[in-house]
Amino acid sequence: MSVTINWAQCHTRPLLMIPGPTELAPPVIQALNQPPTIQYDRSFDEGVLEPTTLALREVFKTKGEVILMPGSGRTALESSALSIIEPGDRVLVIGAGQFGVLMREIMNRVGAGLTEFTTELGQPLDLKRLATEAERLRPKAITLVHNETSTGTTYPAAEVGRIARSVGALFLLDTVSSIAGIDVRTDEWGVDLNMTGSQKCLAAPLGLALVAVSPRAWQVMERRQRPASSWAYDLLRWKELWIPESRGGRVKDGAPRRQPVSMPTHLTAAMQVAVRLILEEGLAHRFRRHEVAAAALRSGVQAMGLDMFPHPSLWSNTVSSIKAPTGVETGAVVTRMRDQYGILIGTGLDKIRATTLRIGTMGITASPHYVLPTLGALELTLRDLGYKCEPGAGVAAAQQTFADAS
């Protein structure tokens, strides 16, 4: 009797090759499996939370404070927006995809006087036109999504930071899918609020929002006419309640202090381990690893006859957006690959949902260990769905890229 094999059957869960949440290293998972600690206990505050935020400064490349909060990337975006924007403040939102739209919606909710600066999906920004627009508007803040996860594109944050500075605007940067995978230089680029989440290249569990705050951003918060409308997510309350005087805050050094919102202790402990692993690896090594893994993935899909969606100058090292072959449904690729081969990738979002696929190379998955099986499974899946390409071509090309980089 012939048996049809389901290769996913022997796995208890699919391998996550989506653009976040991403796979976790075993020591990070182990940090979650501990009895509860009390979030207001001094040992947690001083032994876990504070050292984690101080270590994160290295990852963010900032001398300023990194605030950790319960939530996700969008909590970081929203708490940043509500902390510095007052109703009617002019904000220039750069939109190059779904996450630019998210920033626009958040700014709308906090009552910003909004101007959108958009670009075609997957295409470069016209920096000259942006500079002219910024000069004309003189906004209080300019926002950019560094790595637009919906289109697999990395935008020139340093240049946009320069434009923001030249018109005296605060620079708000969404680094949800770039930090710890692509070099992000908070201070050097003049980023005032660097906003991200825990579950992508930081390779920690989903559930924490992170914001690096510049001295300028604190000043703007302190000079507000009215306090921010959120109690738990007003960033200024961290300065008032938690940051010691020696670091520019309002709490006497060594005095008991409170966190403005109860911190999830397990997630913070897991973040502490994730940050330790990042710093032990070294940032330069980590960025190079993401760069080579993404290049290998791209050479693999191209050898299979597929094209990348975005303009080549913008190809991201953490998320690859790939045009699906004509006539092949992206939803069917994702389902077949997960159910038959045990590897989960994503479709594109919104307007390019039906025409693109997205594969993450984030944290530990930016490695041959994950990229090569993903390409193999993608090829098998496409073959099952009627697409023809030379067997093994994708894996061979990716292997060559890895070999050349070693």
Ligand X SMILES: Cc1ncc(COP(=O)(O)O)c(C=O)c1O
Closer Cβ to ligand X, 211 or 372, answer by number = 211
Among 176, 243, 274, 293, binds ligand X (CB under 6 A): 176
CA distances to 33, 67, 290, 304 from 27, rounded to whole Å, are 10, 23, 21, 36
Q: Is 369 left (phi over 0), alpha (psi -120 to 50) or beta?
A: alpha
Query: For residue 313, which phi and psi values (nearest 5 degrees)?
Result: -70, -10
Q: In angstroms, rounded to a whole number, what is the distance separating the alpha carbons of residues 296 and 290?
A: 10
Residue 370 touches ligand X, criterion: CB under 6 A: no
Q: In angstroms, rounded to a whole number, what is the distance separating the alpha carbons of residues 362 and 385?
A: 27
Among 65, 174, 291, 379, binds ligand X (CB under 6 A): 174
Q: At 150, list the tokens.
A: 């919906």
Closer Cβ to ligand X, 149 or 399, answer by number = 149
CB of 262 to ligand X, least distance (A): 19
Q: What is the CA radius of gyration of the chain?
A: 22
Closer Cβ to ligand X, 102 or 261, answer by number = 102
The contact pattern for ligand X, residues 67-106, with x = CB under 6 A and - = no contact, is -----xxx------------------------x--x----
Binding-site size for ligand X (CB under 6 A) equals 12
Residue 145 touches ligand X, criterion: CB under 6 A: yes
Cβ-Cβ contacts under 8 Å for 306 (sequence gap 6 or more): 322, 323, 324, 325
The contact pattern for ligand X, residues 1-30, with x = CB under 6 A and - = no contact, is -------------------x----------
CB of 73 to ligand X, least distance (A): 2
Closer Cβ to ligand X, 74 or 286, answer by number = 74
If we measure between CA atoms, which residue out of 356, 306, 323, 268 comes closest to residue 45? 268
The contact pattern for ligand X, residues 184-223, with x = CB under 6 A and - = no contact, is -------------x--------------------------
Which listed range, 35-43, 113-121, 173-181, 340-348, lies at the site for ligand X (CB under 6 A)? 173-181
**76 and 195 Cβ atoms separated by less than 8 Å:** yes
Q: What distance lies between CA 300 and its chain's CA centroid?
A: 24
The contact pattern for ligand X, residues 102-141, with x = CB under 6 A and - = no contact, is x---------------------------------------
Closer Cβ to ligand X, 211 or 243, answer by number = 211
Q: In angstroms, rounded to a whole number, what is the distance separating the alpha carbons of residues 76 and 199?
A: 13
Among 62, 119, 143, 177, binds ligand X (CB under 6 A): 177
How are beta strands 193-197 and 170-174 bridged, if at all? parallel
Residue 182's H or E segment, with its range, is: none
CB of 20 to ligand X, least distance (A): 6
The three-state secondary structure class of 202 is coil
Q: How many CB atoms lie within 10 A of CB 59?
A: 23
Residue nearest to ligand X as judged by C-beta position: 73
List residues binding ligand X (CB under 6 A): 20, 72-74, 99, 102, 145, 149, 174, 176-177, 197
